[in-house]
Amino acid sequence: MSLQPCCRQQSFIWRTDTTQSWRSRSSTIRCGTGKSGNNTRKGSDILLSNQTIQKLLQEIKRISGYDCSVWNEKAECMAATNIKAKPQAHAVTALIENYEKTGSQEETGDESLFLVESNEHLYILAMAGTDDKAVMAGRFGISHLESLASVNRSKMDKNRFIQSLILDNLLLVDIYNQAKRLKIPVVQRRVVFLVEPQNAEDTLVLETLKGMFAIGIKDFATSIEEKHIILVKALEPTEGYDQIQHMADVIVDTLGMEAMVGVRISYGTIVEELKDVSRSYKEADMAMEVGRVFYSQRRVLSYKVLGIGRLIHQLPASLCEMFLDEVFEGNAMDNFEEEELTAVYTFFENNLNISETARKLYVHRNTLVYRLEKIQKKTGLDVRVFEDAMTFKIALMVEKHMRAMKEKNS
């Protein structure tokens, strides 16, 4: 029989003393202390998913033949094999209250109820039977439920630790202590990849990455912003930047072919210790921003080979405006005709070679020279001369940077 998620029960009124004692323990869960002080998170973040619980219930029913259901500490049904066979909410409530008073975790009436506390949550398993077979199946089920909750807690703890580590929200002592508790090696060569889907709503990227790498064992994948997936990749001693570039190419190709998702990917520099992972992330993030502005055609961006784009990206707006006024002599980019800009871009791509540029543009050599001379009249720069070509090239990049800053701030 297929499993059916339960509808929420009508609101249940708790006894004042029971409510206070349970809710005071379950409302929030303490996690690692970062630079900003104590960090709390809602306990619901680590509840087992309904899908996980449903799979367990299906297995229990297959073995025992009894319908069963799982409830939370609010006496709400999370999943059931048969909605009609689940117990009344008051029976679940009675067990919770009895557990608060006496610590009793089992109760038999019209059905068999079993309770376990895990990850600061209560789970109640209800079996639609009271004989020995139902009781044995219930004890097996609640034990397995506790194990699943423990594994889930470990995964969530690692994910939150990696997120805090990436955002540089942990003190050095907390990094070492939490890494030891979570069994994450401190000394290990790693690099951070940043994956940006073309469509921010694509949800297959994270799942595909989990299938490609040993996520949760050696490697970690998480999402801090909706538009970015972060992959912390462990490296072998012999792996360097050539291998990292190959990994990035494989990720782009795999996501494109298997998940049908177009992505851009960037990566930072190799770090030797866990504490430096945030630095590699910041480098990958900068590479993504620089690539978005200056190298829009590249699918893979490395922090180490950003060239002059990295320098321009860090220039203040006031200095950029001063430079543009000096180069263009008060002329805005809008004053340049499209054919002039196309000519100069192609000219730069062909290493200032007049003949090759004219061939690529399908124009006569004299026509190209005429267009380049028009730029010289407007700026005073002869782009056929290397020094002037460099100045104009940098000016074009600075103008792109300024435009990107305005769009970001608008």
Query: What's the pLDDT tens digit per position in 156-204?
Result: 778 888 989 998 888 999 899 888 888 899 999 999 999 998 876 566 7
> What is the value of pTM for the model shown?
0.63
* Pairing verdict, β 77-80 and 68-72: antiparallel
Domain count, the chain: 3
Residues 6+ apart with CB under 8 A from 327: 379, 381, 391, 392, 395
* Pairing verdict, β 271-273 and 187-197: antiparallel
Q: Does residue 25 surpass a pLDDT of 80?
A: no
- Look-up: residue for tokens 């791509």? 349
Q: What letter represents residue 55's amino acid?
A: K
Judgement on whether residues 119 and 227 belong to the same structural domain of the protein: no
Q: Does residue 73 surpass a pLDDT of 70?
A: yes
State the alpha helices, DSSP H only, in 295-316: 308-313
Domain region containing 305: 187-310
| Dihedral of the alpha carbons of 106, 107, 108, 109, in degrees to the nearest 10 | -160
Which run of H or of E encompasses 126? strand 121-127
Q: Is residue 162 part of a domain?
A: no
State the alpha helices, DSSP H only, in 65-200: 89-102, 132-166, 172-181
Q: Is residue 379 part of a domain?
A: yes
Which run of H or of E encompasses 393? helix 386-409
CB 227 within 8 A of CB 213: no
Judgement on whether residues 306 and 319 belong to the same structural domain of the protein: no
Judgement on whether residues 62 and 111 belong to the same structural domain of the protein: yes
Q: Does residue 315 surpass a pLDDT of 70?
A: yes
Judgement on whether residues 199 and 299 belong to the same structural domain of the protein: yes
Q: Rounded to an integer, what distance in angstroms lies between the CA atom of residue 300 and that of residue 249?
A: 7
Q: Does residue 11 surpass a pLDDT of 60?
A: no
